[in-house]
Amino acid sequence: MQLKDKVAIVTGAGRGIGKAIAEAFAKEGAAVVCSARSVGEINAVASEIGGLAVPCDVADEADIRRMIDATTDAYGRIDILVNNAGAVARLPVHELPAEDWDHVLNVNLRGLFLCTKYALPSMLDQASGCIINISSGAGVVGPRNRSAYAASKHGVMGFTKTLVAEYLYQGIRSHVILPDATVSQMRSEGFPDEDPDSLIQAEDIADAAVFLATQPATAHTMEIRVSQGLRTRTK
């Protein structure tokens, strides 16, 4: 088991990509803190994998601090943080309410920043850690009707590069995964007629997360792009 004795936080762990990552980490021996707003869902996942469920809205700074405190109170450390929680708004720019833009940016970018900010002190004390940020191919392509989502996911890539510059030589590795269209409830709500067999599976992204979380300290792959039938790794 490659993650034995490691403690991992996974946000958005109640379903989809987050659930798949939580399950994959637990299979590799990690103690997993499952976090999301959906209490019933994270309780079910945590029960299944023997983890800890901690409800958290990543748009709420106080909630994030409670999640970090609950993790260190229970396990004494944080080895891995997976910033996966996400939101989307599907409207053209001229019809998009400012509050929808703000919500998407608050969840996808500000929340990711705050989770990272409050997890870092534990990692710095240990002189080790791994941060995995889930971005999206949309942050590269810029699809129509998803301006806030694309902007936030592009921001995740820039933020991750800054984390590498600031913390790699303090023993903390930072990575970003860019999945193309993936089977998820969020995807099916936006594209109900889409064939799920044409999409990436959440387990493919979980495989990429395990790969990154188990890299030796002497190797650093910053970015993985997960595409249907293809994974490209860029150092």
Spacing of C-alpha 58 from chain mean position = 11
Q: Catalytic residue among 118, 149, 167, 169, which? A: 149
Spacing of C-alpha 63 from chain mean position = 17
Q: What pLDDT is attached to residue 219?
A: 78
Closest among 48, 34, 133, 144 to 96, alpha carbons compared: 144
Residue 189 has pLDDT above 60, yes or no: no
Residue 3 has pLDDT above 80, yes or no: yes
Lookup: tokens for 59: 């748009």
Average pLDDT, the chain: 91
- Higher pLDDT, residue 235 or 161: 161
Q: What pLDDT is attached to residue 139?
A: 82
CA angle, residues 144, 146, 148, in degrees to nearest 5: 135
Q: What pLDDT is attached to residue 54?
A: 99
Q: What pLDDT is attached to residue 32?
A: 99
* pLDDT band of 229, cuts 50, 70, 90: low
Residue 193 has pLDDT above 80, yes or no: no
Strand partners, 80: 8, 130
Report whether 85 contacts 58 (CB < 8 A): yes
Strand partners, 129: 172
**Residues 89-124 pLDDT 10s:** 999 999 999 999 999 999 999 999 999 999 999 999
Q: What pLDDT is attached to residue 201?
A: 82
Report whether 112 contacts 136 (CB < 8 A): no
Q: What pLDDT is attached to residue 181?
A: 65
Phi then psi dihedrals of residue 129, to 5 deg:
165, 165
Residue whose tokens read 């990575």: 175
Lookup: tokens for 104: 């998407």
User: What's the whole-model pTM score?
Assistant: 0.91
The 10 Å CB-count burial string (b at 16+, else e) for 7-26 is bbbbbbbbbbbbbbbbbbbb
Residue whose tokens read 């229970």: 74
* pLDDT band of 149, cuts 50, 70, 90: very high
Q: What pLDDT is attached to residue 187?
A: 53
Q: Is 118 a catalytic residue?
A: no
By CB atoms closer than 10 A (0-12, 13-18, 19+), residue 229 is: exposed
- Higher pLDDT, residue 139 or 198: 139
Indicate the fold that domain 7-234 takes in CATH: Rossmann fold (3.40.50)
Domain boundaries, the chain: 7-234
Give dist(CA 82, CA 88) in Å, integer: 19
Residue 44 has pLDDT above 60, yes or no: yes
**Sign of the four-CA dihedral 150, 155, 158, 159:** negative
Q: What pLDDT is attached to residue 190?
A: 52
- Higher pLDDT, residue 192 or 218: 218
